[in-house]
């Protein structure tokens, strides 16, 4: 990955809610293992029951989280999905498909865990975001 592409990804990820508490140096470590993937309209990214070993961040486009014809949610640029797969070994709980041509950043579990093991700042940032999410749910 070129240095300018890496800087673009760091800048982009720093604005993604899941990574807002993660410092730039830690995002740089994460970018080493990033993969950029492109999908056409109505393509499956994964199906319910697939092995979960990665999360995705939407760079361009939009996706739907669904089971058969029921749509649980739609997501757009700057949102992420599949993050539970980075921590547990559970199968995917729903399918995700594109609604239009989409570009995604794929973060694989091995890369994520390697950064967590070697960068305490990254771990603290992710934990802070997860705790904030949990507090928001508790407040409902």
- Between CA 92 and CA 94 the distance in angstroms is 6
Query: Could you tell me the sign of the dihedral formed by the alpha carbons of 34, 38, 42, 46, in that order?
Result: negative
**CATH top class, domain 3-138:** mainly beta
pTM for this one? 0.88
Per-residue pLDDT of the chain (140 residues; tens, 9 = 90+): 788 888 999 999 999 988 888 888 889 989 988 999 999 999 999 999 999 999 999 999 999 999 989 999 999 999 999 888 888 888 999 999 999 999 999 999 998 888 888 888 788 878 887 787 678 777 76
Number of neighbours of residue 21 by Cβ within 10 angstroms = 18
Q: Answer yes or no: are the C-beta atoms of 114 and 32 closer than 8 Å.
A: no
In degrees and rounded to multiples of 5, residue 48 shows phi and psi of -60, 135
């Amino acid at each position: 990955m070129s240095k300018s592409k890496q800087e673009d990804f760091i800048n982009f990820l720093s604005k993604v809610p899941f990574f807002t508490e993660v410092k730039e140096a830690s995002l740089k470590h994460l970018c080493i293992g990033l993969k950029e993937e492109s999908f056409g309209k109505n393509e499956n990214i994964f199906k319910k029951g697939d092995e979960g070993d990665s999360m995705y961040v939407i760079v361009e486009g939009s996706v739907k989280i669904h089971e058969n014809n029921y749509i649980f949610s739609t997501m757009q640029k700057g949102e992420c999905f599949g993050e539970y797969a980075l921590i547990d070994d559970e199968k995917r709980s729903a399918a995700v498909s594109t609604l239009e041509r989409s570009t995604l950043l794929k973060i694989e579990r091995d890369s994520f865990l390697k950064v967590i093991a070697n960068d305490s700042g990254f771990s603290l940032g992710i934990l802070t975001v997860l705790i904030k999410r949990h507090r928001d749910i508790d407040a409902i």
